[in-house]
Amino acid sequence: MSFPEHRPRRLRRTPALRELARETRVTPADLFDALFVVEGSGVREPIAAMPGVSRLSVDQLADEAKRIQDLGLGGVILFGIPSHKDALGTGAYDPDGIIPRALRAMKKATPELLTIADVCLCEYTDHGHCGVWDGSSVHNDETLPLLARSAVVAAEAGADVVAPSDMMDGRVRAIRRALDEARLEDTVILSYAAKYASAFYGPFREAAESAPQTGDRRGYQMDPANAREALAELETDLAEGADALMVKPAMPCLDIVAKARERFAVPLFAYQVSGEYSMLQAAIERGWLESPRAVDESLVAIRRAGADRIITYFAKDYARRHRG
Ligand code: PBG
């Protein structure tokens, strides 16, 4: 059908008609907040490169968890920033480490709120790499048991979901086996299966003090030039026992999100990462982009591409503006 029988503008004339024609919605429950947890008490320390985001100490988390729950968000992912770092990232699998303490505090305050523990060594190692560093590269197989221990420790402290973000080969299988052996067979694994070596993680590394001291992450994270490889990674992680999959970053990878949605039936997450957030905030601060329209458009685009759920630093802001 073509003009004049067909007039696409008819369905765009009023807000109610646009509502009628809308294909994709973003609800607060689709969004997951990300929190940076630090040692100390009474700490709410703004992160310069991420306006509106702060590092919080454990005693702040009960209130924060209640806010997140009241806003109707889908849940929260936690990143720990320990005061002590060492070569093997021991803080990542210390049962009294920052994340287990954070999880216990949150589970006490809001038992129903879904908690995800990011599983990676980079925030805990003094060299800043995501695994055991041998001076020139990260040793894959020596890293696996450490990741598995971190996942068990987080699950024992109450994490509903563990989310490995290290990109070691075989980590999903290693984590699944360790969880099952510890009788944590109901703990969900959300795998950052297609995680690119992206420049858009820059502000996060400032926030989490996790920038590699030497070298970079291209020896284990994916080359942004590759798409088929991402599908292979997603497939492998599913076969190893992942319950849900994640693509990261989000906006630079909408093609990967769309392909993953077509191919896999499990819940699909996309992570709108720190650089995507900071880029929008910086342009909004300068008056170059209109807020909140630019933010909402970024989120609906990620949903439209096929992500069921989005991890985003805009989660609370979006939910405040779209309360049911
Ligand atoms: C690794 C991890 C990173 C992010 C999430 N998990 C950093 C990295 O791989 O360098 C980035 C998230 C963001 O940029 O918002 N633990």
- Residues 69-87 pLDDT 10s: 999 999 999 999 999 999 9
The two tokens of residue 179 are: 């969880």
In a domain, 251, yes or no: yes
Instruction: Give the residue numbers marked as catalytic.
Output: 195, 248
State the residue for tokens 């329209």: 293
In a domain, 81, yes or no: yes
160 CB under 6 A from ligand 1?
no
**166 alpha carbon – ligand 1 mean position (Å):** 9
First to last CA, the chain: 38
In a domain, 5, yes or no: no
In a domain, 255, yes or no: yes
In a domain, 3, yes or no: no
Question: Can you tell me which atom of ligand 1 is nearest the CA of 79?
Answer: 16
In a domain, 143, yes or no: yes
**pTM of this prediction?**
0.97
- Which CATH number is 266's domain given? 3.20.20.70
Task: Provide the CB-side half-sphere exposure for 94 (13 A, CA).
Answer: 17
Among 127, 162, 201, 269, say which to mutate for ligand 1: greatest number of ligand atoms within 8 Å of CB.
201
Does residue 308 have a pLDDT over 80?
A: yes
Does residue 260 have a pLDDT over 80?
A: yes
118 CB under 6 A from ligand 1?
yes
Does residue 323 have a pLDDT over 90?
A: no
278 CB under 6 A from ligand 1?
no
For position 95, what pLDDT does the model report? 98
Q: What is the pLDDT of residues 28-69, one digit of tens each?
A: 999 999 999 999 999 999 999 999 999 999 999 999 999 999
**289 alpha carbon – ligand 1 mean position (Å):** 25
**145 alpha carbon – ligand 1 mean position (Å):** 20
274 CB under 6 A from ligand 1?
yes
Tell me phi and psi for residue 254, to 5 degrees.
-65, -30
In a domain, 31, yes or no: yes
Residue 117 DSSP class: E
- Using CA positions, which residue lies closest to atom 7 of ligand 1? 201
β-strand 44-46 against 161-164: which pairing, if any? unpaired
204 CB under 6 A from ligand 1?
yes
Report the mean per-residue pLDDT for the chain: 97
Question: Can you tell me which atom of ligand 1 is nearest the CA of 273?
Answer: 15
- Using CA positions, which residue lies closest to atom 6 of ligand 1? 165
For position 280, what pLDDT does the model report? 98
> Residue 86 belongs to what domain range?
25-321
pLDDT band at 324 (very low <50, low <70, confident <90, very high): low
The sign of the CA dihedral 300, 204, 164, 39 is: negative
- Using CA positions, which residue lies closest to atom 12 of ligand 1? 273
pLDDT band at 209 (very low <50, low <70, confident <90, very high): confident
**H/E stretch holding 37:** strand 31-38
- 249 cis-preceded (ω within 30 degrees of 0): yes
**245 alpha carbon – ligand 1 mean position (Å):** 16
In a domain, 185, yes or no: yes
For 101-110, 175-184, 205-214, which range has the lowest pLDDT when averaged over its residues?
205-214
Q: Summarize the confidence of residues 276-282 as an average pLDDT.
A: 98
Total domain count, the chain: 1
248 CB under 6 A from ligand 1?
no
- Using CA positions, which residue lies closest to atom 2 of ligand 1? 165
